[in-house]
Amino acid sequence: DPISDFKEEKYLEEWVMKYRSLGMKGRCADYIPALGESNRSDLGVYMINSNGFEMKAGDWNVPFTLQSISKVISFIAACLDRGIPYVLNRVDVEPTGDAFNSIIRLEMHKPGKPFNPMINAGAITVTSLLNGDSPEQKLESTYALIEKMIGKRPTFNENVFQSEWKTANRNRALAYYLKENGFLESEVEDVLMVYLKQCSIEVTTKDIALIGLILSQNGYDPIHKRQVFPKQIAKLIKGLMLTCGMYNASGKFAAFVGIPAKSGVSGGVMASVPARCRQKNLFQTGCGIGIYGPAIDECGNSLAGVELLKHLTEVYDFSIF
């Protein structure tokens, strides 16, 4: 019903207004100097269901870099390139309870297999597995998959990449440990180049909402009516997103929001709502949600973004539990 749909979008605008100011209580991820310059009061949201119905509000069209959200895409790309068993031989499927860039377990638990692909150690390993011999070819694997899902070539933020490349000492340390333990299929500098470039791919909330939608349909793109990746990969990555996608707040997020999601330190959150049989609302056939709010909390998640998602899950009963 177009009239009530229009009303829903007006509500969405009100909710964005309500949570926007929360950003002023947080900080942008200034350990990557270029991200420190983002506007803390930005907040935007984009929702799209499997019929193509869209709802958006606030700063939904402000570009931001994928950062850790790229870990979802490179994992899918690596599974497509090498097969699930090959990838899971080098990275586990367990949450850690450590910070996303923590190094501690790589030495503590021999042989240092990364716990999951949603933390940096796991994501760097996965990136090294992508098809291709050169960093350019490996990066292309992830780019091509994004392009297929959002229908255009995403832009690249050279400024963020340079800023992070220069300050990536911790990621370098992680990569050297992984190399020492035999988990990397690339040279350290090459894999860092690919990993940090994939983090610097630029998107809007609409782009990640589209990817969230395809995940919700188990790899099927309902807009272009084609299977982009197999259902098995979709189920695996959604399990990883639910248990590890929101860093050390993944448990609380699962309990209080209850849907697979992945955040990035740039303030983006990509969430995926599965189809539901027992409810009657706009999103019963599943939807993708993209959020951007650059001020983050101590775990690295968008402050206003997570509160907005909590609100949405109350209103629409999104939780899978």
Q: Which residue, 234 or 265, is less far from ligand GLN as judged by CB?
A: 265
Is the Cβ–Cβ distance between 91 and 128 less than 8 Å? no
- Using CB under 6 A, pick the residue from 135, 260, 300, 305 that binds ligand GLN: 300
* Residue of 71, 197, 238, 262 with catalytic role: 71
Instruction: Give just the sign of the alpha carbon dihedral 91, 94, 96, 97.
Output: positive
201 binding ligand GLN? (CB under 6 A): no
- Give the C-alpha separation, 142 to 23, whole Å: 31
CA atoms of 55 and 249, how far apart (whole Å): 27
Contact 286, 217 (CB under 8 A): yes
Calpha distance 223→23 (Å, rounded) = 33
Going by DSSP bridges, is the β-strand pair 201-203/220-221 parallel, antiparallel, or unpaired?
A: unpaired
Contact call for residue 264 and ligand GLN (CB under 6 A): yes
By CB under 6 A, name the one of 49, 96, 120, 163 that touches ligand GLN.
120
The CB-side HSE value for 291 (13 A sphere, CA atoms) comes to: 33
Binding letters toward ligand GLN, positions 77-116, x by CB under 6 A: -----------------------xx---------------
Q: Is 247 annotated as a binding residue?
A: yes
* Partners of residue 54 on adjacent β-strands: 48
| Catalytic residue, candidates 19, 46, 177, 195 | 195
Nearer to ligand GLN by Cβ, of 23 and 264: the residue is 264
CA–CA separation, 194 vs 139, rounded Å?
6
Among 34, 126, 199, 254, binds ligand GLN (CB under 6 A): 199
Sign of the Cα pseudo-torsion (75, 78, 82, 86, in order): negative
Tell me: does residue 163 bind ligand GLN (CB under 6 A): no
CA distances from 85 to 119, 129, 219 (A): 19, 12, 19
Active site residue 265: yes
Place of tokens 């007006």: 10
247 is catalytic: yes
Nearer to ligand GLN, 50 or 198 (CB): 198
User: How near is the Cβ of 136 to ligand GLN at its closest, in Å?
Assistant: 19
User: Taking the complex as a whole, how short is the minimal distance between the CB of residue 100 and ligand GLN, in angstroms?
Assistant: 4
When binding is defined by CB under 6 A, the residue of 38, 49, 50, 68 that contacts ligand GLN is: 68
Ranked by CB distance to ligand GLN, the top (closest) residue is 68
Residues making up the binding site: 68, 120, 164, 171, 195, 247, 265
Q: Which active-site residues does the annotation give?
A: 68, 71, 195, 247, 265
